[in-house]
Amino acid sequence: EYSSLLRCNVKCQFLGDDSEKRRFKVLVAILDNSGSMSRQWPLVVQAIGRVYSDELLANPSVSLNTVAYNTHADEVKMPTSSEQLQRSLRLSYSPGGITNFQAAFERAKKIILREVTKFTAKGIKSSHIDVTALLFTDGEDTSAPPLGHKTEAATKKARAAGDAFRYFLETMDCPSFVSVAAFGEHHNPEQCQYLSDRYYYINREEVLSEWLAGGLSESLQSSGFVNPKLHLPKGLIMAEPLPRNIGINPDGCIEQEFWLRDESSEGLSQTEEVKVIMESVGSQTAIQGSTALSSATVICSETLQGRTFLIESAEMQLRQIALELRGKRPSPTELALLREKLMGVKESVRSVLEAASDPKSKIQGRCLLLTRLDDLEIRRNRLSYTLGHFEVEKGGDARSIGAVGIDAVLRDASQKVPLSNTAREWLRIVDASNAILPMKKELSTYGKSSTFDSISGCDAKMTMPLGNAMFYRLHGESFSTLVDCSDEPIAYEVFSMLSGSGKKAVAMNGGESFTRVGIPMYVTPEHFRCVQLFLPAVMDQLSDNGAPKHSPTEKLFLELLGRSLASSLRGSGLNSSSSGTNRHNLTLLQKTRSVRAILDSKIKDGSKSLLDELIKSAETFINDPESRIHVTNIYEMASIGLLVAENWPSHCIVQLGEAIIEESMRRIIISKIQNKSESERIQLAWSVLGHSTSGTWLDFPLKDSNTKATQSCNEQFDMLAACDDLKYLEEKFPGVYSPRNVVTLVHILNSPSVPDGRMGLSECYALRSLYQKFTTLVEDARIDRGVWNLFDSLMLEEGDTTKQEEIVRKFGAAFVLEDTPQTLRDILAEPMKSLSQFAVHCLRGLSFFQNNKQNNEQISPRLELASVIDSIVTEREECARKYIIKDANYPSPGPMSAEQWAKNWGSEASPADPILYAKVRSRVHRNNFNKSLTVKEALADKAYRKHGGHFAFPSQLDTFIPGLHRRTRDLHNIWKQIGKETRGPLARKNAVEEMLLRLRWDSRDKAAGTKLSKIVGVIWDGLENRPAGLPISSALWLHDISSDDDEIDYDSDNSRETSKEMEGKEIFVTEKCNSRIYEKGGDADEWSVITGG
């Protein structure tokens, strides 16, 4: 059947100045909001919102208008945003009334005339104004009597109105395009197709999306329309009707195919010509040309052109089948023949599908062919579904879309539809790749091995004639989890085919599957031009996968390069010299080369490239430490050091490396101390500002840190004496520091890396070594062609293979680290500066430190810390004397927030053995479930002490005791309830001893115990309504002058043993609450005594 087909391809280009190429648009959406549109109205409103984007609404070259019609037609006032338009249509134009096409067309004519006049009044030629009308409807015209009913008069009235509308558009001398989107089963398909240049039957939301993405966008982006005419020699006929209008591409190009059929019995003369005329508006010939039949050739089916011919002829056959079915009910014989034709369509492109689906096949335009085959199969399935409705009587498809639906589908399928956006984009890539010159030289041995893709069986040189390019593979569910998958690349179109455009993972034989491609390969300038064709699609896939919104999007590749560098710095391949590791190192260098090319080719602000912008950011990172906090991922900045190495002198790269290490250590410190209290941060700062005559602390091994370091440091720290100590050391040894406990320092610094862009000590050491080796390599290469030109030369065969192998070994060795950091000396390039910064980072954020920074000039960290401590001591003392304990009431007149409590009294004491405390607390809460929370917490603290535990404050100035007043009142109430005596010196003494067990404080501090005993005694006296004595300051570390009556020495050790009477009473209560069967006064196990106490 193909032997009688001729395809006439027309390609032409309009020439003219820029003023002629600029187009102006008048778009009118004519929306049917009659009563029958109630169900479809939300879909129509949503569709208009997608068409009338905010960008189009703000475009002065585009006039957007809307008409809502039912019995009457009204113009919709256009807002400034798509969202406002949709809201207005939903609220103010709800469906109702009948369908009146005449009213709709009359209103649309007035609007078009008005808007075109506005443009022409500005001196714009009418031939430069494109008019597009979009008609949405779901029914026939019912505006002729009897109103609301389908009648022949109403149909004639609608057709006359449509004819008048088309005549009006022709007289406007403007290129015009009318599109009708029809919903449901009650419209008139024949009439809709008659009225429009393109008719769409919308039976699903997906079809509407296809229309919006395909034909509508084509009309909006076109540069006008032309009317085609063909003069055929005798014996040739049109295989299908000519389209009424053909759109001109935005660049002024026309591409169109016409299918002819040879019906001559004797054959056509090769000298006969086919004449093609493209007429613009006004019947003025825009383009004409002719071609002799002698130029016709038989296309080889193994080429892209031949495979495209098979697909397009299959599409044409589907249109022919739809035309045959329209308006009739086929007989069983005809149905069988049509089924056979549908199967024949599928068979005709089977060879194309098999070739395009085989990753090993060397095929050009693979993704273009697959996309068009998918579109073809969708249309074939729609026709097959329609045929099923004619076979119902013979047990076929039992579903029914009605006669109108069948006619609508067939009319839609009989039209030639434009390429989908996806197919159009693949066609653009194919055309652009055809214009790229092939590689002039052969790939070297290294070039072949490093660019070889085992899945497609191609290297970079093989893929270029196919319009393909190599990219590295990534694995991960979302962008944040994407990591390098392999050092082997893959041809992009093969990946797109296997992954369904990135929708599913691609499994590898014996390896991990991959889900995305990321950084491309830079092989030669020609190959990079192919790479650039695919970069937009790669960036879109990364962005759709949850990538952060970068501007420009090319910065995504910088983030991916940072991840590759992070993987290498963490030991994936930098501490070995094996052949596999050498390839991994060269892959990192290859990625750096590719990202550099991408950033250097992205011109921003007219003259400077994105690479120039990154160079500027690296300079700022070095010179402005305060700006470093804004760098989200430190590995990205480390990658910039590799990218700009050829542009900078070596000492600048070294400075960048030290700045990165300094910032990484700051982030490590901040992450370790961010949840620590003010006192703990002060202690840490104090711990690194000591002095030692030897520097042996720098030789402390990094692996010997442990979690007990901070406890050891706490035992040495005396906040009340620290201020004088710091001032003395600064006076005697200014600027010379030594950690008091090096284990504490190592424990904090030796933190593992985390995915938030922070480097650990090992990565910092690896980066310093990498920068040193790479800058040496760069300096050596300056004598030759430069490091990147030298690296590029490795890809091509240039004669001296021995020299190339030596260069490959040299480049790979630049990324090999032979040692790992062993001591602090390996990490801290400037030890005094590092310790000073450590102290400052600990103090940063403290209120007193900020005040000092505002009031004083730069001073040493010791004096800064001394000033902070002095300010805190002064404030805490003033607070403790202001909020005194004088009775059972709280010391503050009103409620305080947690922040205020912490500011005035510091932090509470914490259990020294958290595991033991958690176990005891859980048991106590379980055995006393019916008691109040404050009582259970007090009993848990007491039980913890009974088991040998103790509490510790972060420092002497931290004396906040949670529940001091409430727990004392709880004990007083309990004693009252069980009839225990609460008055008198003995009861007071017993109460104080009991409360010392139930409160959180450091029982190893005798002075604190004495002060707390006095405070509890005053509170107890207040509960007993005893006359108040001298008030007591509310800090355990402050000494008060008290009356002799208050100077009672309560021994802390003796206070842990309570009277038998009290214990027995409390055990009895516990037993009763827990329904346990003990005889009153009987023995109980030790745990019951503790948890019940």
pLDDT digits (tens, 9 = 90+) for 750-790: 866 555 667 888 888 889 989 988 998 888 888 777 888 88
CA angle (647 as vertex; 641, 651 as ends), nearest 5? 65
Residue 1058 has pLDDT above 50, yes or no: no
pLDDT in tens, 32-53: 999 888 888 888 888 888 788 8
Fill in the DSSP letter of residue 458: B
Residue 567 has pLDDT above 80, yes or no: yes
Please tell me the number of Cα atoms within 13 Å of 200 on its side-chain side. Answer: 24
Take residue 564 and report the two structure tokens written for it: 């590759």
CA angle (411 as vertex; 233, 389 as ends), nearest 5? 125
- Which of 403-412, 721-730, 1010-1019 is least confident? 403-412
Strand partners, 514: 506
AA letter at 419: L
The long-range contacts involving 238-247, CB below 8 angstroms and separated by at least 24 positions, are: 239/5, 239/316, 239/320, 240/316, 240/319, 240/320, 240/323, 240/416, 243/197, 243/416, 244/197, 245/175, 245/176, 245/177, 245/197, 246/278, 247/177, 247/218, 247/219, 247/222, 247/223, 247/418
Residue 528 has pLDDT above 70, yes or no: yes
- The answer to whether 178 touches 159, Cβ cutoff 8 Å, is no
- Which of 119-123, 281-285, 382-386, 903-907 is least confident? 281-285
Cβ contacts of 406 within 8 Å, gap of 6 or more? 386, 389
Burial 603-624 (b: 16+ CB within 10 A, else e): eeeeeebbbbbbbeebeebbee
pLDDT recorded at residue 1040: 76
Take residue 795 and report the two structure tokens written for it: 């890809």
Provide, rounded to the nearest whole percent, the portion of the chain with pLDDT above 90: 30
Q: What is the separation of C-alpha 437 from the centre of its chain, rounded to a whole number of angstroms?
A: 37
- Give the CA dihedral 280, 283, 288, 293, nearest 10 degrees: 110
Radius of gyration (C-alpha) of the chain in whole angstroms? 42
Residue 183: pLDDT band (50, 70, 90) is: confident
Q: What is the mean pLDDT of residues 1006-1024?
A: 92
Instruction: Tell how many helices (H) and how many strands (E) occur in the chain.
Output: 43, 22
Q: What is the mean pLDDT of residues 191-210?
A: 70
Q: What is the mean pLDDT of residues 1045-1055?
A: 40
User: DSSP 3-state assignment of 558?
Assistant: helix
Take residue 466 and report the two structure tokens written for it: 């196919």
The total of other beta-carbon atoms located within 10 Å of residue 895's CB is 7
Beta strand 483-491 with 506-508: parallel, antiparallel or unpaired? Answer: unpaired
Q: Using CA atoms, how far apart are residues 973 and 1023, in angstroms rounded to an integer? A: 10
Take residue 201 and report the two structure tokens written for it: 């039957």
Residue 1004 has pLDDT above 60, yes or no: yes
User: DSSP 3-state assignment of 884?
Assistant: coil
Place of tokens 């003025």: 284
Cβ contacts of 611 within 8 Å, gap of 6 or more? 596, 599, 600, 602, 643, 644
Summary mean pLDDT of the chain:
81
Distances (CA, A) of 66 to 107, 158, 180, 389, 845: 10, 20, 15, 37, 58
- The answer to whether 205 touches 181, Cβ cutoff 8 Å, is no
- The answer to whether 226 touches 245, Cβ cutoff 8 Å, is yes
504 phi, psi to nearest 5 deg: -145, 160
